[in-house]
Structure formats: structure tokens, C-alpha cells
Chain A
């Protein structure tokens, strides 16, 4: 009986996601304004990124504030392969994902031995080191970055000047992919292992969970998807430099939607991104282009409010009240 409830809930999630994706796919029919389209693209992208971040940090509980590294690696791998070797961005995207996943596991090897705050600090430091390396790496354009040569609209090279729609649909696809991967893994051995590792690694170990490899698996999936997002972003903005794809703000922008919506939940990142990203972009738009300060003030205020009032995120408003009390 309870199994049926469970299967029904999974199916319901899938249907809601399909309906939302369909609605999102139709919005460009009504939204012609380029600024709004731009906001929609970024919202979808950050929803997908945050969903991917959520796999390692939300489900598996290994809080990373260094995911900008994987985002930047995705962007750089794609564009270096494209500008130096003429490899199409589609292959570059896969390559970027694989490179990031491998680096995530390489870094995980020493750092997954750290627990709690020490792990978080390590992720921040490593991402900063990556940023500095790219700043000084002449072959990769150093601080000047890489300008992607534009040769007209092309699906093959995934670049478009006259329309933003292809970017929109790619961002939507990325968001759907990250959501679906999460949905699928949630009810798999990995999903259960990750939550067990997050809640209590010692108990997990005693129940046969391979704690170390659970973390490695989560890191690889998470880094791969974030790197694909980075590749997309590089094509979308068609110019990259270390700060604009590997800066600390990206690490924050991946973590905050999940934290706002509900960390370690299926819907939290999407909900969080749907609120946070338009808000950021609009404040940036209203209070001047270089107004980096104002959007940060908005985040800060939101996060303080959420952690005070709803530490488990906005989704906790919707969760059914649990039966409590003793029953013997």
C-alpha cells in the first residue's frame, strides 16, 4: 500500500515537471522582449546549475562553495578546444564535463577526508587557486580571456546573433536534464547512499555504504553537469575571462537557489532560482548596470530572512505535516 503511495508521488513529480517544462517551452511565443528573454535564460541556467550543485552539496551533504571552478573549466575547455583546435562546442561541452568530473574526483581524493567546515574552506580555496592559474596562463588568454569568433548563426557551432531562442531552449534542456538526473538518482542506491552519508557517515559505513566512493560519485555527476552549464554560458556570452566564468559569485549563485528553495530536495533549486535570479537581474537592471552591490544586498537580505524564518527552505512551507508523537 505504502509502495503505491510512493510510486504515485514519483509519478506526480514527473508529470508536474513535464507540464512546467512544456509551459516554459511556450513562453517565447509570448515574451518577445530581449531583456526578459535574457532573464529567463539565466534563470533556467541557474536552476540547472543549482540542481547539479544540490547533488553533491544537498543530497550528499558535502557543501561546496567552489563549484565556479567546474563552471569555468567547462567554459574554458570548450572554448580552448574550439579556438585552438577547431573542435565543435558540442564535443567541447562533453570534454569539459569529463575534464571537470575527473578533476572533481582528483580533488575529492584528498579533500573528502575532511569533514564539515574544513571541507567548505578547501572548496573555496581550490576554486580561487584555479582562478589565479587561469589569470596567469598565457596560452589560455590569461587575464585577457578568449573571444569566441562569431561567424554567423549556426547550430553546428552553437552560436546565434539574431535570436536568443536557441540559447533559451538549450538552457531549458539543461535544467530538465539536471532535474531528471536528480529525480532518477533520488530513488537509486546512490541517492539513498548520499542521504545516508549526509546524515551520519558512521552509521552509513556500518550498513555497508561505501562512504568515500559515494562522495566521489556525487562529485563527478555534479561537476559534469555544472561544466556543461559553463560551456553553454561561454557560448551564450561569446567572451570569457577568468573572472567572468570562474569568479566566486558563480559558486554563490549555484548554492543560493538551492538553499533558498530547500537544500537536498528535488524541487528546491528550481523554486529558488525562479525567485532569486529574476530578482537579481531586475535589481541589477533597475539600479544600473555596474550595480553589483545592490543584487548582493538583495541576496544577503533574502538569505538572512530564510535562515531565520525557514531554515529548511521555501519548500518546507508546502511539505505535509508529519505525524508525530509516540505509537507503540
Chain B
């Protein structure tokens, strides 16, 4: 079976800066894959290429057996790519339920059905009690959850999570981890960018480590964290030799 998502030899240059060089990764159906790496490794760039914010300089991106390299973000969403933003982008003047309805309208043209779907998603994500509150009145952890809820309302096949667990308190992060598991159990494939290793590693089935725009290592989380190349990328060569 073809993987759900595949990047083939993707390059992204910004002027003289090479943010991604020859990145080929694949995400299988039903997996939780972690995309990790130190700051400036090119994670966010790759993430944005997959979400369709901009097309890559070179290479191609395949989703569900289809070449989506030049497809705009809105169309990718219709094909089944949902995403969150690292810096939350709630619709601040709208209520929580209205935020989610925007997402639900992708697959429900009748308003009543979109509203029902949105309520369902709020139940699923634990935001039901906050449905009628303005998004601007949510606390940061709730805003993160709203990002996930909105994306889930589009009924994605692939959910792209951009550092949804970063900057949360340990309790909030645990709730977040539980939510990601629940999402996967609902049959949705997850690709998540994180740079806090200790949170992601127990959660993901497979980790892909980027460094300096290239895929450094890829494999089971337990193997990846012990890999000298990864340790050196995060902590420097001295630590790698000791390990």
C-alpha cells in the first residue's frame, strides 16, 4: 500500500539559505510520526511545504497517491490534510463553536450538520464547556486544543501538529498526549513537529530527525535517542562520544 504522505527529494531555498535539502520522508496510514530536530533544522519549513503554505523549490509531495506539490493549502485541506499552527491562529472575534464550524464546513454544506459536527469535535477534544466563549478569552492551553479541534472538524486523514505540546505545563502536556493518542485511535494519521524530545518520544511510533535541513536519522524512538548522530546534533560532539 502506498504511504499516506511522501516527500520525494524536497528542496527549499530562501535566497542563499537552504532550509531543506533533498528531504525524502514517508508517513504510513495510522502512524504517529514525530518530526524532531534542533532549532533551525528545517522542521517548520518542511511542515509548511507539506501543509501547502508554499511550494518547494524542487522535489515533489505526494498525498494519498496524488501529487499535491503545487496544490494550494485550502485544496489540500479538502483532500484530507489538517494542520495546527505553532503560533496559535484562532479566529479571535468568534466563539469557540464558531471557530470549529469553519472547519466543519469543509465536509458539511448544511449549517445544521456543520454545527452538530462541531459540537461532536468539541466533546472529543474536551472543549464542550467552552463552546460559547470567545476564542480570545481562552487560556493558552485551551487555544492549542482549539487549533486541534478546528483541524479535526475538517475530518482529515492526516493531522499535522506543529509544536502543540511545547510550552505547556506538565499536566497540560499529559492531556495533550492523551488527545493525540485518541486522535490516532480514531483512525487519523498524525505527523507532529516537536523539539522537546521527552514528551514526543513515548508518544510516537517513529521519529524522523532533521538537522541542517537534511534527514539525519529515522527510526524507532528508542533507537533514535541513542543514536550518536542525534546526540551530537542536539548536544554537540563531546556528548556523542561519551554515549
Residues of chain A with a CB closer than 8 A to B33's CB: none
Flag whether A255 is at the interface (Cβ < 8 A).
Answer: no
Most buried by B among A2, A3, A192, A204: A192
Interface stretch of the complex, out of A31-39, A207-215, A217-225, A281-289: A207-215
Question: Does B119 lie within 8 Å of A205, measured CB to CB?
Answer: no
Residues in chain A near residue B92, CB distance under 8 A: 199-200
A206 touches B73 (CB 8 A): yes
A–B Cβ pairs within 8 angstroms, 18 of them: A2-B97, A2-B132, A189-B111, A195-B98, A196-B91, A198-B93, A199-B92, A202-B53, A202-B85, A203-B150, A208-B103, A208-B105, A208-B106, A210-B74, A322-B134, A327-B130, A328-B141, A328-B175
Interface magnitude class on chain B: 35 or more
A-B interface contact total, Cβ < 8 Å: 99
Q: Mark A169-209, 1 if CB is under 8 A from B, else 0.
A: 00000000000000000011100110110111011111111
A3-B115, A187-B111, A206-B73 are contacts. A326–B139 as well, Cβ < 8 Å? yes
Q: A2-B119, A209-B74, A211-B74 are in contact. Are A192 and B102 (CB under 8 A)?
A: yes
The smallest C-beta distance from A39 to any residue of chain B, in angstroms, reads 33
- With A187-B111, A200-B89, A327-B130 known to touch, is A207 a contact of B137 (CB < 8 Å)? no
Indicate if B72 sits at the interface (CB-CB under 8 A).
yes
Q: Name the contact of B101 in the complex, choosing from A192, A204, A324, A326 (C-beta under 8 A).
A: A192
State whether B97 touches A193 (Cβ < 8 A): no
- Known interface pairs A187-B111, A199-B93; A206-B133 also in contact (CB < 8 Å): no
For the complex with contacts A195-B94, A327-B130, A328-B142, 4 further pairs of A-B residues with Cβ separation under 8 Å are A192-B98, A192-B101, A206-B85, A211-B74
Please, what's the 1-or-0 string for B79-116, where 1 marks a CB less than 8 Å from any CB in chain A?
Answer: 00011010001111110011001110110010110111
Give 1 or 0 for each of A5-44: 1 = CB within 8 Å of chain B CB. Answer: 1100000000000000000000000000000000000000
